[in-house]
Amino acid sequence: MKKLTKRALLLVNPKARRGGEAIDSVIGRLHKGGLDMTTEPFDALPEIARDIVRLRESADLIVLCGGDGTIACGALAVVECGLPLGIIPMGTANDLARTLGIPTDLGEAADVIIAGNTRKIDLGSVNGYAFFNVASIGLSADLAQGLRPEMKKRFGRLGYAMAAARVLTGARPFTATIQAGEKVTRVETFQIAVGNGRHYGGGNVIEANAEIDDGHLDLYSLEFGRVWKLAAMLRSFRAGTHGAWDEVRTDRGVEFDIATRRPMPVNTDGEIVTSTPAKFRVHPQAITVLAPPAILVDGAKEAGRTA
């Protein structure tokens, strides 16, 4: 029996870190793997959701080519359509791809889509805006505002480091209240981050036991006296063990409400989308992605890779 051809809507962000790379070979690989491609470029992130909704009747799955911000912008439209999501990681950090075990090589990422293995994963939201990895207030939001697109595209991760040095030099703590259920906590902090997935910031881990399908959000708040203490914690952030430091407050839940004395920007997966007061929620198994199967290693999940 002849294999049925699936229809795929492929949207490309030309402004992503690797958006200038030729996509023709990826399209050819997907087509050879049995996908009938409709390709749609866009110039601004808000256009992603519009194009997904407009063209959804012509597709059996959605393929987004871009970075974490690109994928997050299209997330709610993908959920509304109820179609599986394929990812071609073309950004700078590609933390969602890292969490899911999707290769950064574009051809190998296309092979993951062709293989057709699906996973249901959680989606985070803040004030109605979606995020897969982390949403934050404070240092990371300041970094996102200070990282110019041309610096990001030219220098990649080095651009992040350059912008971070400037942000840390002028960093000041702020006052916030964190509500989790009936518990309300007032803090003086440099940053509050709420994670849905596992990786963020180019490979940092939100919490050592965090998974993108565990039905929870993981929060941390940086409450040290001097911002340069952060340098001593860097290895802990890579491993997700920063909660062991006395200066780091952590919590886990399904909802958090955060208020500040004045409105402060909220960064979701590298994009400023809203401001405080901020309502964070988790939406368990809200979206189906095409990804390698998760593998259990010593009782914990580890993203698998296709050969």
Question: Which pLDDT value is given to residue 14?
Answer: 77
Which amino acid belongs to residue 67? Answer: G
- Do 23 and 34 touch, CB atoms closer than 8 A? no
The residue among 167 and 209 whose pLDDT is bigger is 209
What is the mean pLDDT of the segment spanning 176-188?
Answer: 97
Which residue ranges form the domains of the chain, and what is each CATH number?
A: 6-117+291-303 (3.40.50.10330), 129-285 (2.60.200.40)
CA separation for the pair 59, 114 (Å, rounded): 15
What is the mean pLDDT of the segment spanning 244-258?
Answer: 97
Per residue in 261-270, pLDDT tens? 999 999 999 8
Per residue in 33-87, pLDDT tens? 999 999 887 766 778 888 899 888 989 999 999 999 999 999 999 999 999 999 9
Task: Give the pLDDT band (50/70/90) at residue 306.
Answer: very low
Question: Which pLDDT value is given to residue 1?
Answer: 36
DSSP 18-82: TTTS--HHHHHHHHHTTEEEEEEE-SSTTHHHHHHHHHGGG-SEEEEEE-HHHHHHHHHHHHHHT
Residue 233 has φ and ψ, to the nearest 5°, of -95, -5
SS3 content of the chain, % helix, strand, coil (to 5): 30, 35, 30
- The helix (run of H) or strand (run of E) holding residue 141 is helix 139-146
User: Whole-model pTM?
Assistant: 0.87
The residue among 212 and 5 whose pLDDT is bigger is 212
Task: Give the pLDDT band (50/70/90) at residue 201.
Answer: confident
Residue 282 confidence (pLDDT) above 80: yes
